[in-house]
């Protein structure tokens, strides 16, 4: 029996026991310190206590983002919390004061608790107050009202809006600089804005630690246990597995579907165990344990070829199912499904997939995957293809980094790996120029319906927002290609857990516009002639903001006497000037 397996099962909500996912329970677990990942903010707070650099910290974010873990880290680092000791609602030490969760404090006491936390540095101690964003805003308003009343100063609607705007701006950018309100200086951190993608790899590394699995050594079920198989195989091929996990979580992060640490732990733990227990494995015979309960299948929420309905409760599995990554056609499809060539896998995986093919030979046909519907044979073939793709995405042995990038770009988008490099460190100017050219081409096609030729500037046109061809378009302004420059900006934040964090911006005159992965994906689809969906509100908003910025900076000055039109002709695009003088229309 390995109790660590039961602990892993309790960290996801695919089963009936998900108590281990709660921060309060986690703290008391003997396994908590083994799989947790320390945060820079927690280390900074602890270091401040050691150096008597007292500051007030207010921490907010989503449930499961690791807010309580940061508090526990700081306390344990300073020897203020025993290994299995729980947290109190609030506690006052000689040089530290904390509030575990503002929602646990009675409403009539919350203003006083916030004031006490903000006053801590003046009293020779640091403080950490944790709260959800909505209640935090309300308590700040009440506190400032109280302080203004004590001073006899006004606090009307304008002052309330200004206060909330100050707090929201800080929460949106989650900077590391202190802000000051009513004489109180404090650091407000929105942990939901901190990049946590790299934690996936560190969490998996911690879970795979040899001593946590020592109880499995010599177990009578070891040779037929899918959990042992997953743990051993993922350990031996961790670099390849981590590559897919981190790319998947990066894709979600960049598309406004950020996973919390708790959600990542839940998906990884389910992928390792399938919520099986040692007792269940000991008392039950599984026909194909190493395929059905394989990490590659379970990470997608599948047991063998079928979806596990309970797994859909795990957030990461819900997301990966909605993306349907295992339905995306790959360059390797012909080799995998026609030649049944599995040499890109290790011998163990080759054995599993060869056996899968042998058992299901009659279902394999060279048919269109999209045709599979109610036809049982075609439906089965689709399930088989998806399963093999899951193994390919998770385990295929790429010859070099370039081949790995090619695989990831096939499922996450053409510019995915380049974008990932650009936000992770300084990159050659040539890469930026290439992407800058993509953006210009896409903007040109969006405005004119054609790709640019020669040295034509970007025409800002008045045209229909659909695919209807227009021969003539009114030009509202022009942008020279040299006016658009793609740049990297290094983000300096002492609380960021990433080693390096960069952002991508499009410089337009003296303004900068953030370029995101969804925007790049949209631009690429536009160039290819694909119909881009605007169902993503963040993407739609970003496109509209960029359009507005270009029109603001480059629209022609009002002139009732002259119009500029762009005409699509058999010889290409031509610009015509139409002037109106003395009741006559003059065309240039």
Q: Which stretches does DSSP call E strand in 280-431? A: 302-303, 306-307
Whether the CB-CB separation of 6 and 215 falls below 8 Å is answered with no
Q: What is the DSSP letter of 532?
A: -
Q: How far apart are CA 547 and CA 508, in angstroms?
A: 12
Q: How far apart are CA 40 and CA 195, in angstroms?
A: 12
pLDDT at 214: 95
Q: Considering only CA atoms, which of 278, 271, 265, 315 is closest in space to residue 11?
A: 265
Regions of the chain short of the pLDDT cut 70:
16-27, 364-374, 465-469, 531-535, 558-560
Q: How far apart are CA 167 and CA 247, in angstroms?
A: 32
| Chain center to CA of 504 | 16
Q: How far apart are CA 588 and CA 576, in angstroms?
A: 6
Q: How far apart are CA 513 and CA 439, in angstroms?
A: 12
Q: Which residue has the tokens 């165990």?
A: 273
Residues 6+ apart with CB under 8 A from 61: 67, 133, 190, 191, 192, 193
**Reported CATH class of domain 37-193:** alpha beta
Q: DSSP assignment of 410-474, as one string?
A: HHH-TTHHHHHHHTTS---HHHHHHHHHHHHHHHHHHHHSS---TTPPEEEEE--SSS---SEEE
Q: What is the DSSP letter of 514?
A: E
pLDDT at 531: 61
| Chain center to CA of 180 | 31
Could you count the other beta carbons within 10 Å of the beta carbon of residue 56?
24
pLDDT digits over 381-427, tens only?
899 999 999 999 999 998 889 999 999 999 999 999 999 999 999 99
**What does residue 422 show for φ and ψ, rounded to 5 degrees?**
-70, -25
Structure tokens at 178: 């202190």
Q: What pTM value is reported for the model?
A: 0.91
pLDDT at 134: 87
Q: How far apart are CA 237 and CA 80, in angstroms?
A: 39
Structure tokens at 137: 């805003």
pLDDT at 29: 81
Cα 576 to Cα 183, 383, 464, 478, 563, distances in angstroms:
61, 57, 20, 13, 8
The residues of the chain that CATH labels 3.40.50 are 37-193
pLDDT at 460: 94
Could you count the other beta carbons within 10 Å of the beta carbon of residue 350?
14
pLDDT digits over 112-142, tens only?
999 999 999 999 999 999 999 889 999 999 9
3-state SS of 129-182 is EECCHHHHHHHHHHHHHHHHHHHCCCCCHHHHHHHHHHHHHHHHHCCCCCEEEC
Q: Which residue has the tokens 């409760």?
A: 313
């Amino acid at each position: 029996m390995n109790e660590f397996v039961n602990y892993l099962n309790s960290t996801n909500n695919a089963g009936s026991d998900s108590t281990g996912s709660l921060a309060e329970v986690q703290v008391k677990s003997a396994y908590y310190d083994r799989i947790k990942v320390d945060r820079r903010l927690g280390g900074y707070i602890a270091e401040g206590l050691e150096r008597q650099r007292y500051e007030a910290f207010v921490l907010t974010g989503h449930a499961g983002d690791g807010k309580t873990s940061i508090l526990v880290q700081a306390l344990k680092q300073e020897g203020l919390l025993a290994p299995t000791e729980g947290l109190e609602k609030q506690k006052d030490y000689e040089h530290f004061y904390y509030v575990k969760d503002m929602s646990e404090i009675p409403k009539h006491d919350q203003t006083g608790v916030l004031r006490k936390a903000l006053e801590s540095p003046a009293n020779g101690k640091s403080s950490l107050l944790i709260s959800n964003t909505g209640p935090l805003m309300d308590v700040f308003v009440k506190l400032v009202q109280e302080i203004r009343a004590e001073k006899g100063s006004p606090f009307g609607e304008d002052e309330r809006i200004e206060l909330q705007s100050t707090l929201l701006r800080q929460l949106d950018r989650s900077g590391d600089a202190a802000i000051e309100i009513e004489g109180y200086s404090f650091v407000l951190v929105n942990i939901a804005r901190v990049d946590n993608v790299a934690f996936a790899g560190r969490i998996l590394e911690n879970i795979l630690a040899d001593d946590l699995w020592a109880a499995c050594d010599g177990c009578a079920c070891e040779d037929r246990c899918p959990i042992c198989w997953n743990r051993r195989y993922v350990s031996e091929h961790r670099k390849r597995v981590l590559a897919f996990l981190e790319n998947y979580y990066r894709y979600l992060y960049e598309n406004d579907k950020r996973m919390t640490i708790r959600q990542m732990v839940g998906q990884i733990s389910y992928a390792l165990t399938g919520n099986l227990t040692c007792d269940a494995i000991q008392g039950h015979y599984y026909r194909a344990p190493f395929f059905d309960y394989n990490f590659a299948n379970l990470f997608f929420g599948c047991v063998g070829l079928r979806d596990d309905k309970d797994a859909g409760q795990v957030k990461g599995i819900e997301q990966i199912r909605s993306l349907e990554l295992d339905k995306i056609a790959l360059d390797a499809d012909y080799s995998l499904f026609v030649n049944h060539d599995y040499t890109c896998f290790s011998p163990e995986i080759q054995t599993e997939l060869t056996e899968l093919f042998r058992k299901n030979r009659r279902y394999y046909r060279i048919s269109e995957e999209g045709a599979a519907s109610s036809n049982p044979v075609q439906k089965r073939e689709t399930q088989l293809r998806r399963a093999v793709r899951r193994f390919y995405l998770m385990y295929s042995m790429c010859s070099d980094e370039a081949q790995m990038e090619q695989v990831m770009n096939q499922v996450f988008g053409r510019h995915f790996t380049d974008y990932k490099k650009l936000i992770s460190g300084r990159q050659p100017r040539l890469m930026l120029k290439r992407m800058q050219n993509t953006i210009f081409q896409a903007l040109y096609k969006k405005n004119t319906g054609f790709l640019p030729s020669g040295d034509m500037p970007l025409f800002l046109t008045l045209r229909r927002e659909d695919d209807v061809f227009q021969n003539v378009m009114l030009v509202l302004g022009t942008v020279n290609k040299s006016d658009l420059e793609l740049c990297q900006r290094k983000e300096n934040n002492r609380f960021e857990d990433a080693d390096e964090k960069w952002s991508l911006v499009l410089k337009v005159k003296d303004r900068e516009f953030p370029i995101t992965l969804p925007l790049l994906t949209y631009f690429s689809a536009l160039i290819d002639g694909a119909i881009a969906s605007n169902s993503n509100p963040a993407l739609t908003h970003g496109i509209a903001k960029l359009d507005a910025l270009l029109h603001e900076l480059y629209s022609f000055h009002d002139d009732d006497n002259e119009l500029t039109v762009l005409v699509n002709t058999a010889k290409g695009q031509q610009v015509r000037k139409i002037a109106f003088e003395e009741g006559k229309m003059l065309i240039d």
